[in-house]
Amino acid sequence: MIQQTLSFIGGGNMAGALIHGLIEDGTDPGRILVAEPDSGRREALAARFGVRTTEDNQEAAGEAAILVLAVKPQVLREVARKLAPVLAQSRPLCISIAAGVRHAALQSWLGDEVPLVRAMPNTPAMLQAGATGLYAPASLDEPRREAAEHVLRAVGLVVWVEEEALMDAVTAVSGSGPAYFFLFMEAMERSAVELGLPPEEARLLVRQTALGAARMALESELDLPALRLGVTSPGGTTEQAIRAFEAGGLRSLVQQAVEAARDRSRELSRELEGE
Ligand SMILES: NC(=O)c1ccc[n+]([C@@H]2O[C@H](COP(=O)([O-])OP(=O)(O)OC[C@H]3O[C@@H](n4cnc5c(N)ncnc54)[C@H](OP(=O)(O)O)[C@@H]3O)[C@@H](O)[C@H]2O)c1
């Protein structure tokens, strides 16, 4: 539960998900202040969550003990530079959820003295089932690390990475990852229909199977190969399917796809910082 004022700069989708999770976790909505330019969105946030809102970023930053930067990466530089004079006074813990904007770049825009954590959440955060990577330099103290972790834990699982370069890997794995599973489910659904199942039944069977497999993978003490072998009887049906996946190069295809995402993440960082 957050006891101090927690402000958001930007009140869009991800801010909404975090606010929802924090309130579910027991944070008093009166402690949350959201700066958002769109009046309709401000009203919607206040009505849905009972949080306070403002159109003034400086006001939100000035009051905050923790400040979540939740604007699009393309506007972050301008937003951060305008906040710098206020932050030099109040020095809240800043948490950036902007994809691709590296710690050093953001630190230089916000000012050197501002404590800063970089976070990479993913869209299942909307259901409090997110997976977030966090990075901060070794100089950031433990209480601030815990505070940042607490905010992101409101929307799911949190892991820290020790080197910032690994945030590109986090982006490629958990950031983009939901889309990989959607693609796989899409292909499974199409195959199910090809095999003659009605579309609605195909839809339900595939999605429930994905959920069941994910829950088994998370909750079982067995590792993934053991879980796979558990449904692969010698001479059975699963064995034939796995053989086809292996023969088609599924593992190296996944490796290539994840590396391509990691490389694009690096490129995007350079583009955002070079603008
Ligand atoms: N969605 C995801 O799955 C996801 C995952 C990982 C990281 N992220 C990161 O989370 C951040 C937010 O993404 P999102 O999906 O929540 O985007 P979003 O829904 O577009 O939210 C951004 C909000 O910021 C507002 N805004 C724009 N300019 C502003 C300014 N100068 N001051 C204050 N607020 C301003 C926008 O208002 P207007 O619409 O009126 O411009 C919008 O309400 C991004 O940096 C993204 O990289 C998102």
Atom 18 of ligand 1: nearest residue by CA position: 12
Whether the per-residue pLDDT at 275 is higher than 80: the answer is no
pLDDT digits (tens, 9 = 90+) for 62-107: 999 999 999 999 999 999 999 999 999 999 999 999 998 999 999 9
Q: Which one is the CATH code of 6-167: 3.40.50.720, 3.40.605.10, 3.40.250.10, 3.40.920.10?
A: 3.40.50.720
% of the chain exceeding 90 in pLDDT = 93
Q: Which one is the CATH code of 177-264: 3.30.565.10, 3.40.50.1100, 1.10.10.10, 1.10.3730.10?
A: 1.10.3730.10
Count how many Cα atoms sit within 13 Å of the Cα of residue 165 in the half-sphere of its side chain: 1
Rounded mean pLDDT of 150-168? Answer: 95
Give the confidence band of 272 by pLDDT, cuts at 50, 70, 90. Answer: confident
Does 32 contact ligand 1 (Cβ within 6 A)? no
Does 97 contact ligand 1 (Cβ within 6 A)? yes
pLDDT for 33 equals 98
How close is the Cα of 12 to the center of ligand 1, in Å? Answer: 5
pLDDT for 273 equals 83
Whether the per-residue pLDDT at 175 is higher than 80: the answer is yes
Choose the residue to mutate in 7, 9, 14, 127 for probing ligand 1, maximizing ligand atoms within 8 Å of C-beta: 14
pTM for the model: 0.92
Domain edges within the chain: 6-167, 177-264
pLDDT for 146 equals 96
Rounded mean pLDDT of 26-50? Answer: 97
pLDDT for 2 equals 67
